[in-house]
Every structure is written in structure tokens, then in C-alpha cells.
Amino acid sequence: MTTDTEHSTYLPAGLPAPRPLVDGLDTAFWEAAARHELVVQRCNACNGFQFGPEWICHHCRSFDLDWQRVSGKGRIYSWERVWHPVHPALKNACPYMVVLVELPDAGNVRMVGNLLGDPLQQVDIGADVEAVFEDHPGEECTLVQWRLVGA
């Protein structure tokens, strides 16, 4: 298993790459990731954050939503060590780590990603993590992954 160097990926090749939705709802997120920036949807009416993106604010029902760049600093809200491959490409990639990361500077919205590094590492709830932008040049895609701060 590899980590976050420029041309390696946490999970093996062969998985379907995420694509921006055809309606444009999440285009800003993927474009920002390609620039190695993390953005979260924010409401211009009530300043509330939300993720994943929606056409309407979950807090006040305004349609006046925008995107705000955030620090990429987070903390582990939950995690899972995956032992069973859910796709043929993952046959020899287990175990791997999936984390649910909370973003304190974005209203504690949560994002799912992989936790880079040793898949058998000990993981503490509340541990500080930071976003890592994993480029997939052949698939024109950049994934947001996570690593422990100081790791």
C-alpha cells in the first residue's frame, strides 16, 4: 500500500473515479480539490456551513449558497478499518482505513476519506488530522484524503 506522494494513491488503481455531478452542484468542490484547496458550502443568508453540497441551506432554507475555503484541519469523529473488499480492485488492498472527519473551522461538518499511513495504526477519536490532496492524473481527479497531524 502506498501513501500520498505525488504519483501514488492510497487505494489501488481500478476503482471508479468520482465525477462532478452533471447538474454542477459539487463542481466547485472538485475544482478546489484539483487546486489542492478544501472548500465547504456556506450560506450567505445565515453563514451556516454544510457538506455534502445541496441546492438549499439546511439551516435556513435559503438558496443563496456559496463556497468558502477552509483550513483543511480536522479531527477524527469516527473511523473504520475495512477488512472486506467491496470492489474487485480492493481484493489485495485490505485492510485500509476510512475516517469520518469533522471540520471545526467549518461548523463541524463532516467528510469521509481514507486515513493515510499504516492501515493497522491505532486511531484515537478526536485526533487531529489534515487534508491531503491525492492527485489521480490519469483520471483527472483529486481526492481529499487525511493524515494524522505530525505523522
Binding site for Zn ion (CB under 5 A): 43, 45-46, 48, 57, 59-60, 62
Looking at the Cβ atoms of 58 and 69, the one nearer to Zn ion is 58
Decide whether 21 or 46 has the Cβ nearer to Zn ion: 46
In the numeric block, the cell 469516527 is attached to 78
**Minimum distance of Zn ion from residue 49's CB (angstroms):** 10
Taking a C-beta distance cutoff of 8 angstroms, is the pair 50, 40 a contact?
yes
Indicate the residue among 42 and 75 with the shorter CB distance to Zn ion.
42
Report the distance separating Cα 145 and Cα 143, nearest Å: 6
Q: Residue 29, class by beta-carbon neighbours within 10 Å (0-12 exposed, 13-18 middle, 19+ buried)?
A: buried
Would you say 57 or 131 has its CB closer to Zn ion?
A: 57
- What lies within 8 Å, CB to CB, of 81 at 6+ separation is 95, 96, 97, 119, 120
User: Shortest distance, CB of residue 44 to Zn ion, whole angstroms?
Assistant: 8
Peptide bond into 137 cis (omega under 30): no
Phi, psi for 45 (deg, rounded to 5) = -85, -45
Least CB distance to Zn ion at residue 41 (A): 10
Q: C-beta of 72: minimal distance to Zn ion in Å?
A: 23
- Closest contact distance (angstroms) between CB of 73 and Zn ion is 24
- Residue with Cβ nearer Zn ion (13 or 60): 60
